Amino acid sequence: MPTNPVSAGAVIGRGVVAGVAGTVVMTLFQRLVEMPLTGRGESFAPADFAEKVTPARATSPTSRRRLNWATHFALGTMWGAARGMAALRDLHGQRAVHAVFGVVYVGDVAVNTALGLYRPLQWSAKDIVIDVVDKYVQAQATGAVFDRILAPAR
């Protein structure tokens, strides 16, 4: 008996949900593990990005923090949408996690560098490790939620 295929929109939608969950995991990792270990303060890179590419402007510390959080989670949905697109190309498990991480991470650094927001050639080894590890945690968590909880039957 034939099964009803899942639409591309549904798969990408599941990815978006997984991306939100992955962003929660990454944020908890940053707050509870990475930042206490490294001594790094809060980053406002998401707010800087939003102000560069949208008309949004923070007018107070509170609005800057809100913009930062909103953009942080919006960008996390992008990781999830990319994970959904990988599933549409029949990539699953660690192959999908690594493919999505490679494409999205390189794109993130390239776009932010082109916008003048990142200067990766001036980053210390510690800065590079922090950035890669935090975003790798995001990719792994997004992939785990997608594959184990939200993935359509194969």
pLDDT per residue over 92-131, tens digit each? 999 999 999 999 999 999 999 999 999 999 999 999 999 9
| pLDDT tens sequence across 91-100 | 999 999 999 9
pTM: 0.91
Domain boundary assignment for the chain: 8-150
Using alpha carbons, select from 87, 47, 104, 101 the residue that is nearest to residue 70: 47
pLDDT in tens, 19-43: 999 999 999 999 999 999 999 999 9
Q: How confident is the model at residue 151 (pLDDT cuts 50, 70, 90)?
A: confident
What would the pLDDT profile of 64-86 be if each residue is shown by its tens digit? 999 999 999 999 999 999 999 99
What is the number of H-type helices and E-type strands within the chain? 6, 0
Among candidate residues 16, 149, 28, 12, the one with its CA nearest the CA of residue 76:
16
